[in-house]
Amino acid sequence: MRFFEAIHGVYFDDLDAMQILHNSRYLLLFERTIGSFWTRTMGWGGVLSSSEDPDRYHLVRTNAIEYLRPVTGLGEVRVRIWIEKLGRTSMTFGFRLLPMDEDRDYARGSRVVVCVDPANRTPVPWSDEFRRRVAPYLEDAGATAVPGAGT
């Protein structure tokens, strides 16, 4: 399985009164990493086009974060993401928030997104092209990457 990783700064305004990364910032760092993944891996950027990139229309269904140890003070962190599951209309990202110098989690979690029709926002299947492009990032590229598998 391949993963995507981005480095982010931790700034003064990211910290709470105890100089610990505020809990809401973990989700923001995760969001920025996914945005970078979409841009660098999928080439998505600019104006949305349902005819050119129908898979760009998706909504977040759930976010889950487990805070394992605090990020303290200013500096940099890494966010690593991969795809835990690719269903027919949904996809689950896994993520880890890590220090720069070791693979010991500050936090880990997941996000489920659902591909939707842009007009009525109801679930629609991911395209075969999308499945092909994200397949290297699947945690278990066996059964879940094939069209029609899962939900």
Q: What is the tens place of the pLDDT at every residue in 36-90?
A: 999 888 888 766 666 667 788 999 999 999 999 999 999 999 999 999 999 999 9
Tens of pLDDT along 89-124?
A: 999 999 999 999 999 999 999 999 999 999 999 999
pLDDT at 149 over 80: no
Options 3.90.110.10, 3.30.2320.80, 3.65.10.10, 3.10.129.10; CATH for 4-45+54-144 is 3.10.129.10
Examine the pLDDT at 150 and tell me if it is beyond 50. Answer: no
Q: What pLDDT was estimated at residue 143? A: 43
How far apart CA 69 and CA 49 sit, in angstroms, is 41
Cα angle 123, 35, 92 (rounded to 5 degrees) comes to: 45
Q: How confident is the model at residue 141 (pLDDT cuts 50, 70, 90)?
A: low
In one letter, which amino acid is 132? R
